[in-house]
């Protein structure tokens, strides 16, 4: 059984036991395995380290090798909502979406109280500023800024910190390869097409505002520039005028 999953193991860098366990649990329509069910929902931190850290990192910083994004500091309402989306087949439901399907198999073995507990732990993890990867091709940050302010800021806020009342998550904190991938998934209808996912639908429609591959790279480069730098500033502080910052607030 293990060898048939070898490609995935290599891809994911997971131990054979864990991978087989996840698949076996996800494929069974019965209740979660006794070990999972026994995991104390009240201790979300232990639960996180045993069930999530292999891919999302011990500090929630993410792992490019397995295309798992940083989730440190993402708001609990968003994390819980996404776990529910994965669990109920509203995200990660297309077989071509390897990473989404993988995360969906994990969400399907979680109990509701475990999702709530782990979402609270993730939300309290200190923010991790994502490193720039080699994913962006010749980005024009100024063009990206124009697109963002014109077509994204009304929902995700001018500084990319998101807005709970709109269901729009922060975009800062996420890696560039993940942002590119998600915009692509919305555009190709792999995410945000289920009628029971109104927030996903809003973003699926908004992804149409990004008209070209280049525009996608430009806007992601601008989003990356919004991340706080070690001295607490963001590159955007330099790009925005004082007046624009006030107007956007
Ligand atoms: C085997 C690897 C793996 C494990 C274990 C795993 N994840 Fe994930 N997770 C992923 C990948 C890959 C994605 C990206 C899915 C996509 O591309 O749509 C993801 C996406 C997510 C997202 C969506 C992030 C966003 O910004 O929308 C959340 C939330 C999440 N995972 C939480 C968890 C939690 C909580 C656990 C533990 C219960 C966990 N994950 C365990 C691989 C994993
Ligand atoms: C009408 C409001 C709205 C607009 C405009 C909008 N978004 Fe979103 N966006 C959302 C919502 C709501 C979600 C959460 C979707 C979900 O729950 O799955 C989201 C999710 C996302 C995500 C996924 C984040 C993650 O953690 O997986 C990315 C990336 C994103 N938006 C980028 C953009 C960009 C870039 C633009 C501008 C071109 C934009 N959005 C415009 C509402 C909007």
Read off the pLDDT of residues 96-155 as tens digits, 9 standing for 90 and up: 999 999 999 999 999 999 999 999 999 999 999 998 889 999 999 999 999 999 999 999
CA dihedral 177, 183, 187, 193 (to 10 degrees): 120
* pLDDT on residue 232: 61
Ligand 1 pocket at CB < 6 A = 12, 14, 51-52, 54-56, 66-69, 71, 74, 79, 82-83, 92, 99-100, 102-103, 106, 110, 118, 122, 181
Give the C-alpha separation, 129 to 60, whole Å: 11
CA dihedral 18, 76, 197, 207 (to 10 degrees): -90
CA of 187 to the centre of ligand 2 (A): 11
Looking at the CA of 162, which ligand is closest?
Answer: 2
Question: Sign (positive/negative) of CA torsion 240, 246, 247, 249?
Answer: positive
Q: Write the residue with the smallest CA distance to atom 10 of ligand 1.
A: 68
* pLDDT on residue 1: 35
CA of 166 to the centre of ligand 1 (A): 22
CA of 126 to the centre of ligand 2 (A): 22
| pLDDT at residue 48 tops 50 | yes
**How remote is the C-alpha of 68 from its chain's centroid?**
8
Residues 144-199: tens digit of each pLDDT: 999 999 999 999 999 999 999 999 999 999 999 999 999 999 999 999 999 999 99
Structure tokens at 131: 């490193």
**Residue (of 225, 79, 71) closest to 158 by Cα position:** 225
Q: Which of the pair, 91 or 33, is modelled with greater confidence?
A: 91
Looking at the CA of 69, which ligand is closest?
Answer: 1
Asked whether 90 lines ligand 2 (CB < 6 A), one says no
Looking at the CA of 50, which ligand is closest?
Answer: 1
Q: Write the residue with the smallest CA distance to atom 5 of ligand 2.
A: 152
* pLDDT over 70 percentage in the chain: 75
Residues 227-246: tens digit of each pLDDT: 987 666 665 554 554 455 45
Q: Write the residue with the smallest CA distance to atom 39 of ligand 1.
A: 52
């Amino acid at each position: 059984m293990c060898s048939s999953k070898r490609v995935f193991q290599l891809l994911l860098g997971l131990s054979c036991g864990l991978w087989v366990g996840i698949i076996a649990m996800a494929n069974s329509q019965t209740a979660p395995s006794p070990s999972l069910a026994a995991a104390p929902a009240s201790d979300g931190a232990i639960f996180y380290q045993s069930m999530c850290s292999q891919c999302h990192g011990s500090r929630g910083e993410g792992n490019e090798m397995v295309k798992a994004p940083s989730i440190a500091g993402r708001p609990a309402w968003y994390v819980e909502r996404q776990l529910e989306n994965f669990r109920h087949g509203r995200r990660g439901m297309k077989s071509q979406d390897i990473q989404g399907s993988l995360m969906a198999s994990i969400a399907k073995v979680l109990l509701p109280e475990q999702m709530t507990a782990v979402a609270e732990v993730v939300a309290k993890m200190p923010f991790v500023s994502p490193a720039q990867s080699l994913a962006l091709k010749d980005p024009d940050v100024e063009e990206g800024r124009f697109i963002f302010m014109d077509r994204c800021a009304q929902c995700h806020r001018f500084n990319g910190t998101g807005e709970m009342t709109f269901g729009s998550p922060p975009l800062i904190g996420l890696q560039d390869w993940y942002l590119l991938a998600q915009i692509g998934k919305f555009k190709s209808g792999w995410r945000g097409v289920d009628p029971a996912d109104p927030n996903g639908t809003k973003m699926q429609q908004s992804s149409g505002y990004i008209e070209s591959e280049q525009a996608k790279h430009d806007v992601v480069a601008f989003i990356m520039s919004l991340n706080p730098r070690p001295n607490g500033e963001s590159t955007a502080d330099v790009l925005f005028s004082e007046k624009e910052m006030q107007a956007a607030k």
